[in-house]
Structure 1
Amino acid sequence: MSTYKHPELGQFELDFNIWLNEDATPHFVDGEIIVFFANGTEDAPSPESLEGYEWIAANWPQVLSLIEAQVWEYYEPYADNVEGVPKFNSVQEVWGTELLLGLNIVSKIDFEVTLQFEWQADEDDHEITFYVEDGQCDMHSVDG
């Protein structure tokens, strides 16, 4: 199996056309996450995906601002329908409750951010993926 060593994130393995590290440790979050680099060769991820990670790592607050409207779109009906969820008045109050689970990176303008939130009900193991395409986030999906 082909492997690639990223200087910050560690060892990646090639799985079909995706480079995968299930134990990546980006400097901008506490703990391990899953990172996918889309595309590339048998030797390394694509330069665009590596540049995408560098941009995300250097601009994490901007990444959060890209997805904030979709975060709020997820939060509002959740808070209205699930007992015990804190009542936030704005998306800025939601930040700090997110748990980053993974990144799927094609480039610095095309990537996915997968989160869970501390306020999700204990039995709720759903993961929410926010899709950034052409530098904008207009949708999210819920898995789990």
Structure 2
Amino acid sequence: MLEIERKFLINSNDFKADAIKEMRITQGYLCSVPERTVRVRVKGEKGFMTVKGIGNESGASRFEWEREISVAEAQSLLKICEPGVIDKTRYLVPCGEHTYEVDEFYGENQGLMVAEVELSSESEAFKKPSWLAEEVTGQTRYYNSMLMKHPYSKWSLETD
């Protein structure tokens, strides 16, 4: 139940040529405080509920619990989520021994693309493809739970 992942920005669409799968994801948050987020998601033809804890000091590790629920349940729960729905396409892109999950965002987060790679330990080595840009692991502004409150399209209007 420990999630270890590193997060990166993307510098091109080159990853799409190597994607083995893509799916549309709609998600909302029943609770979005950093200490515990409760997410509801429709991912393709499935529904999920996920609880995540606060990240460790590096931001690479945190508690995660997820269960599949019916799409009908997920759609009903999305109606009572906090304002700000996340809409994105997720691409699965194999690279070396790992598979990157690359999210291309829509709506108020249009223009943002982020890749995540899950690891078995924080020190595990992994191949970095040429389309990876700056690492943003631990930068909370890139968490989906923050993107729904402070969308990417409004960042230039806000002070950091």
TM-score, length of structure 2 as denominator length: 0.26
Task: Report the structure, 1 or 2, having the larger helix content.
Answer: 1
Q: Which has the higher contact order (CA 8 A, sep 6+)?
A: 2
Task: Report the structure, 1 or 2, having the larger strand content.
Answer: 2
